[in-house]
């Protein structure tokens, strides 16, 4: 919802009635400007208290409930002026408008009675009133509906990213956490729905696979052997699952070591040597990636070629020849029976040659078979005419399958040509795969050689810590790669054992397998694979979209800063997750980026998430307390301009524009309302909190 206004009565430092503590907001960037201790954070507390019934306790650095905070949330000035026996309230009223233009009034009230100079009888908790504006008046909403309306003001799953204090930015996203982006994407999109599909299809695949095995066991002609194979199958499936999980751990550790190595590279002082190293190594790494991609494609196409290039027919040539011999014998006998009662004996089968070719021979007065002339009136011409006039004999054959056998024979001829080239075709494919493997081995060896050369560069850099850690990370990477290779071999062997067990079980089956059971197992297995791959594709498309959007926002927020800022890169690691990095033009990590850069990167990611897909930025207000406290001036300008342009409404407390000359900058933004707040002591004693109130002044831009 969009926030129309907020007002406070005796809330924290906001002493007095609602009328004197009232702020109205509009679309655009709404700024509340004030010095430290001027009441900015307490205003942020007011928004939070209305929705969540909690107050930020500064000394504990945490939110505490009204039940614990009690009368401490009431203005000291109001408590001082209250007489013993009197009751006072602390109140916050917020008016909001929903997307469907419904207006709601949210009122939270806390009541306490003064029973001594410093003693209070306080209510156990605050009271909440919710009203909806209808028929020109405010109508009370029943309590059971409160929670739903409050959640519409700011949904809980996006609140941390739209309502935050400046000091919270660092904790909103950990750039070093490989699961951070995944968690945010899961939280702020509907991609988790795919997990339900995966769970359903996985359960279905497991159940139908078990049903199929039980069905096959019932049809087995050797129960003992079948039980042994089932035990092998079950054990191999468990081992495969374990090996796959262990490989994922290796992939994660390999990627972690690689990231560490890249970070160390960025610390080398010799810029020229480092640039050369990075350039050569990047080219080789890219080559390895391309070779790996080509290998995957070749391995994928290899299985497809079994049907596409007819490799499945590799050993069927003897059967083709056997069929050909039988078909010749059949065709001769079939033709003899056709000609028994015919006036003209024709040894060719019916429709051979086909009528269209016979008509052309007649027109051109030539035999296409032998190439001889067949002029009109000749015996040859008359014979050709008799071919087109042939009619199938009646009642000679009970079941005439000659056309079917003819089709098989034609296929025999067509595929016979392909069979002759199968061995050379397979050999060529295997040769290409081996060549790609050899090139990959050479490229990986060259990378290791460059890494060894880099050892010397590190030694010349005279940084023993960097050199030692570099060697350690490289050793770790190599160790995990070796572990992965061993696991992959175990996985290959175990997968073969699984396949052999399945084949063995199938061979023991006697009788026909129930088609419904068989098809169900196949369908659920395919659905499981489709659900997983679809989730990954959707996730990667969201990641790509967020990367583009966050870089666009990052550029907008940093365009006035002339220093090297880098760019945001979502690096995919081998376990399928992504980690956000700040990289240079060559995609190498920028070492030790300044705090402002890190904060802006996180804010860029958050804004990209909020603006890219569900358009939360259109429907909800961004509320932040001093988000630019650690930013340089140019970054501050970029932040406010970006927020003002990308969010329908934002409400930000700040001390950035206290000086009159700086307020002129605000004309560059899409502004809403601007207020200046300052502590006010009517008696003039700034040490007396019992005299503290807040003066609110609207500023004209």
pLDDT for res 465:
58
pLDDT for res 181:
75
Nearest CA among 408, 427, 416 for reference residue 310:
416
pLDDT for res 98:
92
Comparing 268 with 366, the larger pLDDT belongs to 366
| Dist CA 205 CA 448 (whole Å) | 43
Comparing 177 with 48, the larger pLDDT belongs to 48
CA angle 581, 587, 593 (to 5 degrees): 45
Torsion of CA 353, 358, 364, 368, to 10 degrees: 10
pLDDT for res 461:
47
Q: Of 452-456, 506-510, 545-549, give the lowest mean pLDDT range.
A: 452-456
Comparing 547 with 26, the larger pLDDT belongs to 26
- 93 in Cβ contact with 6 (< 8 Å): yes
Biggest CA pair distance of the chain? 138
- In 3-75, alpha helices (H): 40-52, 66-69
Tokens in use for 87?
């009751």
pLDDT for res 120:
93
pLDDT tens for each residue of 94-152: 999 998 899 999 999 999 999 998 899 999 999 999 999 998 999 999 999 999 999 99
Give mean pLDDT, residues 630-649. Answer: 84
Give mean pLDDT, residues 550-566. Answer: 77
Confidence band, pLDDT 50/70/90 cuts, at residue 267: low
pLDDT for res 186:
74
| Dist CA 484 CA 430 (whole Å) | 24
Q: Which of 27-41, 470-484, 602-616 has the highest mean pLDDT?
A: 27-41
Distance of CA 522 to the CA centre of its chain: 27
Please identify which residue in the block is written with the tokens 């630019």.
628
pLDDT for res 306:
67
Q: Of 92-96, 275-279, 317-321, give the lowest mean pLDDT range.
A: 275-279
Report which DSSP code applies to 345: -
- 220 in Cβ contact with 509 (< 8 Å): yes
Is residue 363 exposed (0-12), middle (13-18) or buried (19+ Cβ within 10 Å)? Answer: exposed
Assess whether pLDDT exceeds 90 at residue 324: no
Tokens in use for 440?
């990959």
- Mean pLDDT, all residues of the chain: 81
| Dist CA 90 CA 317 (whole Å) | 94
CA angle 39, 41, 47 (to 5 degrees): 105
Task: Label residues 553-564 b or e (16+ Cβ within 10 Å = b).
Answer: bbebbbeebeee
Distance of CA 2 to the CA centre of its chain: 30
Q: What does the radius of gyration of the chain's CA atoms come to, in whole angstroms?
A: 40
pLDDT tens for each residue of 561-609: 666 567 888 877 766 677 777 777 666 666 555 666 777 788 888 888 7
pLDDT tens for each residue of 60-76: 778 899 999 999 999 99
pLDDT for res 685:
79
pLDDT for res 462:
45
Assess whether pLDDT exceeds 50 at residue 17: yes
Give mean pLDDT, residues 196-225. Answer: 87
| Dist CA 12 CA 95 (whole Å) | 20
Tokens in use for 276?
């050369």
- 126 in Cβ contact with 109 (< 8 Å): yes
- 95 in Cβ contact with 9 (< 8 Å): no
Q: Of 490-494, 518-522, 591-595, give the lowest mean pLDDT range.
A: 591-595
Assess whether pLDDT exceeds 90 at residue 51: yes
Is residue 32 exposed (0-12), middle (13-18) or buried (19+ Cβ within 10 Å)? Answer: buried
Q: Where are the domains of the chain?
A: 2-22+41-154, 268-342+411-462
| Dist CA 102 CA 3 (whole Å) | 12
Report which DSSP code applies to 509: B
- 564 in Cβ contact with 584 (< 8 Å): yes
pLDDT for res 391:
60
Confidence band, pLDDT 50/70/90 cuts, at residue 545: confident
| Dist CA 545 CA 277 (whole Å) | 31
Comparing 502 with 24, the larger pLDDT belongs to 24
Assess whether pLDDT exceeds 60 at residue 271: no
Confidence band, pLDDT 50/70/90 cuts, at residue 312: low
* Straight-line distance from the first to the last Cα atom of the chain, in angstroms, rounded to the nearest whole number: 26
Comparing 35 with 330, the larger pLDDT belongs to 35
Torsion of CA 440, 444, 445, 446, to 10 degrees: 100
Give mean pLDDT, residues 686-690. Answer: 81
Q: Which of 127-131, 390-394, 484-488, 653-657 has the highest mean pLDDT?
A: 127-131
| Dist CA 336 CA 650 (whole Å) | 95
- 682 in Cβ contact with 693 (< 8 Å): yes
Give mean pLDDT, residues 528-551. Answer: 84
pLDDT for res 4:
97
Assess whether pLDDT exceeds 50 at residue 684: yes
pLDDT tens for each residue of 350-362: 566 777 777 787 8
């Amino acid at each position: 919802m969009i926030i129309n206004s907020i007002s406070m009565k005796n809330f924290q430092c906001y002493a007095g009635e609602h009328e004197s503590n009232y702020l109205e907001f509009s679309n655009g960037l709404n700024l509340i400007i004030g010095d430290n201790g001027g009441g900015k954070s307490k205003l942020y507390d007011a928004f939070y208290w209305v929705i969540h019934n909690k107050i930020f306790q500064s000394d504990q650095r945490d939110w505490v409930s009204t039940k614990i905070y009690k009368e401490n949330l009431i203005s000291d000035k109001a408590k001082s002026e209250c007489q013993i026996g009197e009751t006072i309230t602390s109140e916050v009223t917020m008016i909001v408008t929903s997307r469907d233009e419904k207006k709601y009034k949210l009122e939270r009230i806390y009541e306490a009675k003064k029973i001594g100079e410093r003693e209070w009888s306080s209510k156990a908790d605050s009271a909440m009133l919710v009203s909806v504006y209808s028929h020109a008046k405010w109508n009370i909403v029943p309590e059971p509906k409160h929670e739903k309306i409050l959640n519409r003001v700011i949904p809980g799953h996006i609140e941390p990213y739209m309502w935050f204090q400046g000091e919270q930015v660092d904790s909103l996203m950990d750039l070093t956490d490989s699961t951070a982006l995944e968690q945010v994407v899961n939280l702020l999109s509907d991609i988790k729905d795919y997990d339900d599909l995966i769970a359903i299809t996985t359960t279905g695949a497991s159940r139908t696979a078990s049903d199929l095995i039980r069905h096959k066991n019932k049809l087995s002609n050797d129960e003992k052997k079948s039980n042994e194979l089932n035990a092998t199958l079950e054990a191999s499936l468990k081992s495969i699952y374990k090996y796959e999980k262990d490989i994922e751990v290796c992939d994660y550790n390999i990627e972690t070591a690689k990231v560490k190595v890249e970070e160390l590279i960025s610390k080398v002082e010799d810029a020229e040597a480092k640039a050369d190293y990075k350039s050569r190594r990047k080219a080789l790494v890219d080559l390895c990636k391309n070779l790996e991609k080509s290998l995957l494609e070749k391995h994928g196409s290899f299985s497809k070629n079994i049907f596409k290039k007819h490799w499945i027919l590799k050993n069927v040539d003897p059967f083709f020849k056997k069929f050909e011999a039988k078909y010749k014998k059949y065709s001769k006998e079939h033709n003899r029976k056709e000609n028994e009662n015919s006036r003209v004996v024709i040894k060719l089968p019916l429709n051979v040659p086909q009528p269209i070719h016979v008509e052309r021979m007649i027109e051109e007065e030539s035999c296409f078979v032998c190439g001889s002339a067949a002029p009109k009136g000749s015996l040859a011409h008359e014979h050709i005419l008799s071919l087109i006039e042939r009619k199938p004999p009646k009642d000679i054959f009970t079941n005439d399958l000659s056309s079917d056998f003819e089709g098989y024979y034609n296929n025999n001829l067509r595929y016979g040509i392909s069979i002759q080239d199968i061995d050379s075709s397979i050999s060529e494919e295997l040769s290409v795969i081996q060549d790609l493997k050899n090139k990959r081995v050479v490229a990986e060896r060259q990378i290791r050689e460059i890494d060894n050369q880099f050892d010397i560069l590190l030694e010349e850099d005279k940084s023993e810590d960097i050199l030692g850690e570099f060697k350690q990370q490289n050793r770790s990477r190599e160790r995990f790669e070796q572990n992965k290779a061993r696991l992959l071999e175990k996985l290959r062997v175990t997968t073969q054992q699984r396949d052999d067990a399945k084949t063995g079980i199938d061979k023991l089956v006697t009788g026909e397998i129930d088609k419904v059971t068989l098809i169900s197992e196949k369908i659920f297995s395919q659905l499981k694979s489709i659900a997983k791959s679809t989730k990954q594709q959707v996730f990667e498309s969201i990641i790509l979209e967020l990367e583009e959007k966050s870089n666009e926002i990052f550029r907008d927020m940093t365009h006035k800063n002339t220093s090297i800022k880098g760019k945001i890169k979502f690096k995919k690691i081998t376990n399928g997750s992504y980690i956000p990095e700040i990289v240079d033009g060559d995609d190498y990590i920028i070492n030790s980026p300044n705090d402002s850069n890190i904060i802006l990167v996180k804010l860029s990611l958050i804004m990209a998430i909020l603006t890219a897909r569900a358009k939360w930025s259109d429907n909800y207000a961004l509320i932040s307390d001093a988000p630019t406290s650690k930013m340089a001036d140019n970054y501050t300008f970029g932040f406010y301009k970006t927020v003002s342009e990308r969010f329908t409404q934002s409400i930000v407390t700040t001390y950035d524009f206290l000086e009159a000359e700086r307020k002129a900058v605000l004309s560059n933004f899409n502004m809403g309302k601007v207020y200046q707040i300052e502590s006010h002591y009517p008696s003039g004693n700034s040490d007396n909190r019992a005299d503290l109130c807040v003066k609110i002044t609207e500023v004209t831009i």
